[in-house]
Amino acid sequence: MKAYVIGEGSGLEALTLVERDVPKPGPGEILVRMKANSINYRDLLTIKNAGARGITDQRIPNSDGAGIVEALGEGVTHYQAGDRVVGCFFQDWVSGPITEKTMMSALGGPIDGVLAEYVVLKEQGVLPIPESLSFEQAATLPCAAVTAWNCLIEKGEANAGDIALLLGTGGVSIFAQQIAKFCGIQTIVTSSSDEKLERVKKLGASTLINYRDQPDWENAVLEATNGKGVDVVIEVGGAGTLAKSVEAVRIGGTVSLVGVLTGGTIDPTSIMRKSVKLQGIYVGPQDMFAKLIRAIDYNELNPVIEETVAFDNAKDAYRLMESGQHFGKIVIAFS
């Protein structure tokens, strides 16, 4: 079978197409014939500098994939050959709080990922794809959509009528917009592009701010909320935007911290004075993903896919992400 591996060299050139044996499922495992992957900023960073993540041997990248069950290992009871399944980001995090052990089961990081024609996944590490979603759509969900749901609804505890601040228009933020819409949560969205702001307005965003034209965008957020601030921020920017996000959140509000897009420093005084809840989030467990799939199916959420790239041209997907031109998700389709 064909598979991409990383681990030697740096930059996108490190991504190499190789021939490997089709893996065999062991007890409690299933063999999945991949139909689609989606990519995340984390996959781009991992490919460009695998060494920084402690990857020294050849590793298959990507966490997010969907496909067809091809064969079953001993003792598998919930699936049969031909079922359509999507992989979970963490193969060992079924429910409850995250632990060091479950963190080590992240696909395309500490263990092989899904950018290969055949992949072995754990029975507990996949979920059925509802009829309403294609393989490409299902493949967009495991990382970005689960993270958005966790940031906004689970750890973010946002309710109908609350206001959320979403930074940028990448995979996590666009899923947060779509989830907010069906949960009745208002959104304020920032972007570097007026054209992208127009697109997110069509998805239901109520206030739009161009963070390039308005570098002090936290003031625009306060103005839009009558000086009060938002209930929750989905913080994808990281250290470079965190101080502004803390200014933009209300007293006692939540900042869900997920991103590493920008560098910088932060004075923690405002976090303390405003009693802000600063919550680190790392995707989410399988039972949260199952709940999200039900909500997506029921609400007919249509994942926003900017472009679908063929498996043989996979590098083009990461080049597009690197350019920052995309809106929502980028998919790699297998022939």
Ligand X SMILES: NC(=O)c1ccc[n+]([C@@H]2O[C@H](COP(=O)([O-])OP(=O)(O)OC[C@H]3O[C@@H](n4cnc5c(N)ncnc54)[C@H](OP(=O)(O)O)[C@@H]3O)[C@@H](O)[C@H]2O)c1
Q: What is the dihedral of CA 143, 258, 311, 91, to 10 degrees?
A: -40
Q: Which of 142, 156, 170, 303 binds ligand X (CB under 6 A)?
A: 170
Q: Find the shortest distance in angstroms from Cβ 276 to ligand X.
A: 18
Q: Is 106 in the site for ligand X (CB under 6 A)?
A: no
Q: Alpha-carbon distance 99 to 122, whole Å?
A: 18
Q: Is 93 in the site for ligand X (CB under 6 A)?
A: no
Q: Which of residues 36-55 bind ligand X (CB under 6 A)?
A: 40-42
Angle at 135 between CA 132 and CA 140, to 5 degrees: 95
**Nearer of residues 3 and 148 to ligand X, judged by Cβ:** 148
**Nearer of residues 69 and 115 to ligand X, judged by Cβ:** 115
Amino acid making up residue 37: N
What angle do the packed helices 217-224 and 239-248 form, to 10 degrees? 30
Q: Alpha-carbon distance 317 to 202, whole Å?
A: 25
Q: Is 149 in the site for ligand X (CB under 6 A)?
A: no
Task: Indicate the SS3 state at residue 200.
Answer: helix
**Nearer of residues 42 and 84 to ligand X, judged by Cβ:** 42
Instruction: Label residue 73 exposed, middle or buried (CB < 10 Å: 0-12, 13-18, 19+).
Output: middle
Q: Find the shortest distance in angstroms from Cβ 148 to ligand X.
A: 8
Q: Which of 31, 129, 143, 331 binds ligand X (CB under 6 A)?
A: 143
Q: Which of residues 55-74 bind ligand X (CB under 6 A)?
A: none
Q: Which of residues 222-251 bind ligand X (CB under 6 A)?
A: 236-237, 240-241
Render 258-299 in DSSP notation, one character per residue. ---SB-----THHHHHTT-EEEE-----HHHHHHHHHHHHHH
* Nearest residue to 167 (alpha-carbon basis) of 187, 143, 194: 187
Amino acid making up residue 231: D
How many residues bind to ligand X according to rule CB under 6 A? 32
Q: Is 220 in the site for ligand X (CB under 6 A)?
A: no
**Nearer of residues 35 and 196 to ligand X, judged by Cβ:** 196
Q: Alpha-carbon distance 16 to 44, whole Å?
A: 14
Q: Which of 171, 253, 285, 303 binds ligand X (CB under 6 A)?
A: 171
Q: Which of residues 73-92 bind ligand X (CB under 6 A)?
A: none
Q: Which of residues 249-278 bind ligand X (CB under 6 A)?
A: 258-262
Amino acid making up residue 289: F
CB closest to ligand X, residue no: 170
Phi-psi region of 54 (alpha: psi -120 to 50; beta: other; left: phi over 0): left
Q: Find the shortest distance in angstroms from Cβ 124 to ligand X.
A: 19
Q: Find the shortest distance in angstroms from Cβ 284 to ligand X.
A: 8
Q: Which of 164, 255, 283, 305 binds ligand X (CB under 6 A)?
A: 283
Q: Taking a C-beta distance cutoff of 8 angstroms, is the pair 46, 53 a contact?
A: yes
Span interacting with ligand X, options 8-16, 67-75, 76-84, 185-193, rule CB under 6 A:
185-193
Contacts with ligand X, residue ranges (CB under 6 A): 40-42, 143-144, 147, 167-172, 190-193, 196, 211, 236-237, 240-241, 258-262, 281-283, 321, 324
